[in-house]
Amino acid sequence: MVCKRSIAYSSSANLGSGFDILSVAHDAFYDEVEACTSEGGLRVVMTDNSNIPEDPTKNSAGFSVLSLMKDYGIKEGIILKVKKGIPAGLGLGSSGASAAAAVAAVNSLFSLGLSKDSMVKYSMLGEGAIAGSPHPDNVAASIFGGFVAVLGERTVNLNVNYDFKFILFIPSIEAKDKTKKARELVPKTVDMSSYVKNMRFGFSLMLGLERGDRKLISNGLNDEIVEKARLPMFPFYPELKKISLSHNAIGACVSGAGPSILVLVDHESEIKAIEEEGKKLIASFGYSAQVKEAKIAGGVKVE
């Protein structure tokens, strides 16, 4: 039996207006996957006591690897042992990280020579199996690391020339098929004024990161369309953003499909006040919340 082990970090997708395009990997949490050759077929084993299905067609890691096995004619059996570090269903790219780690491990196990873009392609299929449509942003961040823009079949890393860190507010809200439901809330059409505002936000964020311009980054962390449509899923968000900005955060946005919220902070921000008041606010809505500080993380690693 030959094995390969990999780890992939959590991520926050969308970053305001970049629905299904922009994302960032952070070191808040990571998943580990060990892929070993075995008897025929694919078996997924969740090594912790999570309720995540082990049926490969219902598991993001399993479905991605099934697709790889089919396309690359892999006849040998594979056992995937998935150790979850990233809590699922909270907008932290949990399903995407498992898929990314599994694809990278199998790529190495069978020396498939997949490019990072091909790994994104296979990993996003796992997202499709559970969220109804295969969004690429979380898996792209987990594979490439850093800030990414997914531009069709290519993912590009953004240069970051500003020093900041993240605060993640992670409310304990259990919602079955959360991302699937959240995607159903996204409007099918948008009016021109929202489109123009969102283009401005997206360009502001990308240029602000590249130029190290705090004001542009701050202006970029906004969204007129998707966050608004999904607000009933995280009703505390507008007030949490207000509190963060009043204490000099750079900006705040919904992490992926929520309910977690990502806040960017730097030396000018009153971090303790943001964390304490933010937690109290979420409690006033009836939810407990974990608050976690994090930094930008690298891409998937195979041992």
Ligand X SMILES: N[C@@H](CCO)C(=O)O
Which residues are identified as catalytic?
127, 179
By CB neighbour count within 10 A (0-12 exposed, 13-18 middle, 19+ buried), where does 287 fall?
Answer: middle
26 binds ligand X (CB under 6 A): no
Q: How far apart are CA 80 and CA 125, in angstroms?
A: 17
233 binds ligand ATP (CB under 6 A): no
Q: Which of 189, 92, 180 is nearest to 137 (CA)?
A: 92
Query: Which residue in this structure is represented by tokens 């060990």?
Result: 34
Q: How far apart are CA 114 and CA 163, in angstroms?
A: 33
261 binds ligand ATP (CB under 6 A): no
Distance of CA 13 to the CA centre of its chain: 5
In angstroms, give the least distance from the CB of 67 to ligand X: 19
Q: Does the annotation flag 129 for ligand binding? A: no
* Residue number, 31 or 275, with CB nearest to ligand X: 31
Q: Does the annotation flag 93 for ligand binding? A: yes
Q: How far apart are CA 28 and CA 53, in angstroms?
A: 24
In angstroms, give the least distance from the CB of 284 to ligand X: 26
* Residue number, 97 or 206, with CB nearest to ligand ATP: 97
Binds ligand ATP (CB under 6 A): choice among 36, 88, 112, 273 = 88
* Residue number, 77 or 128, with CB nearest to ligand ATP: 128
Q: Does the annotation flag 87 for ligand binding? A: yes
Strand-pairing partners, residue 24, are 12, 147
- Contacting range for ligand ATP; rule: CB under 6 A; set: 89-97, 187-195, 198-206, 220-228: 89-97
Q: Token pair of 1, please?
A: 């039996």
Query: Which residue in this structure is represented by tokens 């259990």?
Result: 174
- Encoded one letter per residue, x for contact with ligand X by CB under 6 A and - for no contact, window 252-281 reads ----xx------------------------
- Encoded one letter per residue, x for contact with ligand X by CB under 6 A and - for no contact, window 83-112 reads --------x-x-------------------
Q: Token pair of 181, please?
A: 């439901």
Residue 183 interacts, among ligand X, ligand ATP, none and using kind-specific CB cut-offs from 5 to 8 Å, with: ligand X
CA atoms within 13 A on the CB side of 284: 11
Q: Does the annotation flag 141 for ligand binding? A: no
Amino acid at 214: R
H helices of 110-249, where?
Answer: 116-131, 137-144, 178-184, 192-211, 214-220, 226-229, 237-246
Q: Does the annotation flag 108 for ligand binding? A: no
Q: What residues make contact with ligand X under the rule CB under 6 A?
A: 13-14, 19-20, 91, 93, 135, 137-138, 179, 182-183, 256-257
